[in-house]
Amino acid sequence: MEMKGVIFTFDAMLALAIVIVLFSGIVIFNLAEPTTGANQSLRYTNATDLAINEYLTGGETKDVPTSNPNTNCKEFFEFSSGIVLEARKCS
Amino acid sequence: MKTQKGQFFSIDFLIAMAIAVLALGMLLHVYELNTYEQKEARIQNELTLIAMNSSNILLNTTKCEAGTSLTDKGYELHGCTDTSSWSGLTKANLMIPAEFDCYITKGGSVAIDECDIDDSATKSNIAVIERSFLEENSNISKSAYEQCLDNEVACTLYAPTELVVKIWK
């Protein structure tokens, strides 16, 4: 059956829809960070420690954590400023 | 196109099947990677929570002793820790299960007798938490406490120290 004014066929549109859904699923899978909760607790705890120390001493605490060498299989987590978490691959 | 005799599947169908198989394979691969990552995360989260829990126990159950001038006013010394009784604590006291190993230091020196050996170098999953806290092992008077809060003079009452708890299995 020939339909005038139609660029894509129904088959092509269905195929495109499937491809879009498939790739969206893959992206969503990869976006989910499975250790977010624990890492968030770590950052929260560190920030709380610093805030309490600062409050008790009436000023800025000098000895802030400089590193947090958590090893998670092939990943190495590092605290660069005590509360900022950066992840990089192990060498 | 003229009908091709003896051909069971059309070319279109074969191409479609090939693409479908490739797509399914890719999806399965991603699913497998995701499952592995979830498993690793479960192990890491368990270690992290044990480390965090034991550091909380260390810092919150042995608070600095407040002098009567402070306790009379209802002060409670959050964030200040008396570490004089730490060394005798056991893994059970810190709620670290027996099958987990630990290495706990305070200011770089071993803090807990039962967690004094660090043989985590070959382990793939380790949780480390560094806690910055204030240490004072003697009674704190109200005037010294408030002097630090007000920051009128440099606070020398507490010793800023770092607790490091390392847990692995």
**The three-state (H, E, C) secondary structure of chain B, written as one string:** CCCCCCCCCCHHHHHHHHHHHHHHHHHHHHHHHHHHHHHHHHHHHHHHHHHHHHHHHHHHHCECCECHHHHCCCCCCCCEECCCCCCCCCCCCCCCCCCCEEEEEECCEECCHHHCCCCCCCCCEEEEEEEEEEECCCCECHHHHHHHHHCCCCCCCCEEEEEEEEEEC
pLDDT reported for residue B69: 79
pLDDT reported for residue A20: 85
pLDDT reported for residue B100: 93
Q: By three-state DSSP, how is residue A70 classified?
A: strand
pLDDT reported for residue B165: 92
Chain A residues with CB inside 8 Å of B79's CB? 49, 52-53, 55-56
pLDDT reported for residue B2: 57
Q: Does A53 touch chain B (CB under 8 A)?
A: yes
Nearest CB to A35 within list B41, B126, B129: B41
Nearest CB to A42 within list B34, B48, B80: B48
pLDDT reported for residue A77: 47
Q: Rounded to an integer, what distance in angstroms lies between the CA atom of residue B169 and that of residue A19? A: 43
Looking at the complex, report in whole angstroms how far the Cα of residue A5 sits from the nearest Cα belonging to chain B: 24
Please answer yes or no on whether B80 and A56 come within 8 Å at the CB atom: yes
pLDDT reported for residue A48: 82
Q: Chain A residue closest to B152 (CA)?
A: A58
Average pLDDT by stretches of 10, chain B with 169 residues: 66 83 86 84 88 91 82 80 88 92 92 90 86 85 83 81 91
Report residues of chain A scoring pLDDT below 70: 1-6, 29, 32-36, 60-91
Chain A residues with CB inside 8 Å of B132's CB? 46, 49-50, 53, 61, 63-65, 82
Looking at the complex, report in whole angstroms how far the Cα of residue A50 sits from the nearest Cα belonging to chain B: 7
Q: Cβ-count burial of B103 within 10 angstroms (0-12 exposed, 13-18 middle, 19+ buried)? A: buried
pLDDT reported for residue B105: 93
Q: By three-state DSSP, how is residue A76 classified?
A: strand
Please answer yes or no on whether A73 and B40 come within 8 Å at the CB atom: yes
A–B: how many Cβ contacts below 8 A?
117
pLDDT reported for residue B76: 77
